[in-house]
Structure 1
Amino acid sequence: MAKSFLKIEQVEKSFTRGAMTNEVLKDISLEVREGEFVSIIGHSGCGKSTLLNIVAGLTQATKGVVFLEGKVVDEPGPDRAVVFQNHSLLPWLTAYENVALAVDKVFAKTKSRAERHEWTMRQIELVNMAHAKDRRPSEISGGMKQRIGIARALAMQPKVLLLDEPFGALDALTRTHLQDQVMQIQAELNNTVMMITHDVDEAVLLSDRIVMMTNGPSARIGEVLEVALARPRKRLELVSDRGYIAARAAVLKFLYERHRFVEAA
């Protein structure tokens, strides 16, 4: 992998309401290499989504700075695409139209209409949704909506794909299918991915590194775990893999210790 091109440098975030100030994140520094898949895990309230929103440019850091390829991130941009737990599709548009909307926004000046159509279809086919391209969100399942949300994000050809618990609202079987699909897409496109998750197995399966956050308020990075598992990864084979078991145990131990700390407070 190449050297880091996404750099989070001493980022802090506080929210003030009236006379009360709540410090959510404290001194967060992290470097992500191009093509790397990084998961951020921690208990609820530790500021995971806030950190993701700062990287996305949707929220301003109180202190610190985020760099992408040496440029300061201070607003949203097509170089960072976000997929939320809620698919956020426009209900009056078809699956194709939802993806095409992003394509037109980003490539209106650089691709012809025919090229934009071809690019839109390529992304829809990448997530195996060509058969449902003319259906509206109300006519497809939750998992299919998330596939279209991922296709729309990929259609922007972002430098960083940001996933905020994208499978959290799905049933177990649909979640496993989408996890496998994301692994295949990342292998094909070599995307740089930052994902928020509560799911330990998901984090170990998908990630090159797992960033474990301490509990809020004033959450910090507690540990960073390298997941030294060869790719491509096959779910069933990993169940008995010593490296997988050890990585899973390390994350569970960290989260369990943090949970005990909360209960004792």
Structure 2
Amino acid sequence: MAYLKLDHVDKTFTRGTATTEVLKDINLSIAKGEYVSIIGHSGCGKSTMLNIVAGLTTATTGGVLLEEREVNSPGPDRAVVFQNHSLLPWLTVYENVRLGVDKVFSKTKTRAERDAWTMHNLNLVQMGHAKDKRPNEISGGMKQRVGIARALAMEPKVLLLDEPFGALDALTRAHLQDSVMALHQKLGNTILMITHDVDEAVLLSDRIVMMTNGPSAHIGEVLEVALPRPRKRLELATNATYVKCRQRVLEFLYERHRFVEAA
């Protein structure tokens, strides 16, 4: 039984008399605790797909099921971490996370429990020490850590990551990737991530969903990443399975790009 299922999802945008079919017949089943990445060239509808799962955009036809229930609006069971951290600049790190905690748990946790839960999630991403700082006082990588803490604090059934490391420098990105891997190992949460970084997709994922180019983008291929966990970045560099997976994704993306140029 699929935990999260995209069932014959199509998405068409209409502007005036022009209509554009962005996604065509998307079918994808994700198991509980699985880490799935979606990769493809710009404009292939990756973020649109994520937004449909998040309930921020509705599918034109088809739909999304989470634990056999239809998703058609945003909800705390699906938390999104965007490339832009989207923290509220007038609130402290603690207050940014506490805001979501109060919204989700106001009826089920006491004030003291909500405080402890907020700090627990900040400590999970090593940001407890910066709880009283405001977003403009911390680095880009730290802001993303707070964004991840805020998402985790809602105890979502699915964590949705929309190129969460795309705006960061290489070293910060590597540290955050390792943090997300460790959190996934510890919490066993279900993660759907958009990325355009091949190495990131292979390092983090159980499966990689490769999208054809738009318009009318669809799933071209799904690659199983048969690497045991926990994964260590430096050891994987020479791992035959890692190299093979990386090569297959690159080949797919290159073939698609060349096809577009030829067209």
Verify same fold: TM over 0.5.
yes
In the alignment, which residue of structure 1 is the partner of 2:128? 130
Q: In the TM superposition, what whole-angstrom CA distance separates every residue of 1:101-144 from its partner, at most 9, and x where no partner exists? A: 00000000000000000000000000000111110000000000
In the alignment, which residue of structure 2 is the partner of 1:68? 66
Letter in 2 for 1:108: S
| Gap runs ≥5 in structure 2 | none
In the alignment, which residue of structure 2 is the partner of 1:5? 3
Letter in 2 for 1:7: K
In the alignment, which residue of structure 2 is the partner of 1:209? 207
RMSD between aligned alpha carbons? 0.4
Q: In the TM superposition, what whole-angstrom CA distance separates every residue of 1:146-181 from its partner, at most 9, and x where no partner exists? A: 000000000000000000000000000000000000
In the alignment, which residue of structure 2 is the partner of 1:111? 109
Shift of the alpha carbon at 1:4?
1.8
Distance of 2:128 and 2:77 partners within structure 1: 25
SS of residue in 2 equivalent to 1:4: coil
TM-score, normalised to structure 2's length? Answer: 1.00
Q: In the TM superposition, what whole-angstrom CA distance separates every residue of 1:234-257 from its partner, at most 9, and x where no partner exists? A: 000000000000000000000000
In the alignment, which residue of structure 2 is the partner of 1:33? 31
Distance of 1:208 and 1:221 partners within structure 2: 16
The answer as to 2:228 corresponding to 1:255 is no
The answer as to 2:174 corresponding to 1:179 is no
Distance of 2:102 and 2:259 partners within structure 1: 49
Counterparts of residues 37-186 of structure 1 (less than 5 Å): 37-186=35-184
Which one of the candidate residues 189, 192, 198 is aligned to 2:190?
A: 192
Distance of 1:12 and 1:175 partners within structure 2: 33
Distance of 1:55 and 1:86 partners within structure 2: 19
Distance of 2:2 and 2:232 partners within structure 1: 27
In the alignment, which residue of structure 2 is the partner of 1:219? 217
SS of residue in 1 equivalent to 2:123: helix
SS of residue in 2 equivalent to 1:138: helix
Letter in 1 for 2:204: L
SS of residue in 2 equivalent to 1:110: coil
TM-score, normalised to structure 1's length? Answer: 0.99
Letter in 2 for 1:38: V
Distance of 2:16 and 2:94 partners within structure 1: 45
SS of residue in 2 equivalent to 1:237: helix
The runs of 4+ residues in structure 1 deviating greater than 4 Å are: none
Letter in 2 for 1:206: L
Shift of the alpha carbon at 1:16?
0.3
Letter in 2 for 1:84: F
Which one of the candidate residues 242, 245, 263 is aligned to 1:244?
A: 242
Which one of the candidate residues 208, 227, 233 is aligned to 1:229?
A: 227
SS of residue in 1 equivalent to 2:3: strand
Q: Report percent identity of matched pairs.
A: 75
Shift of the alpha carbon at 1:262?
1.2
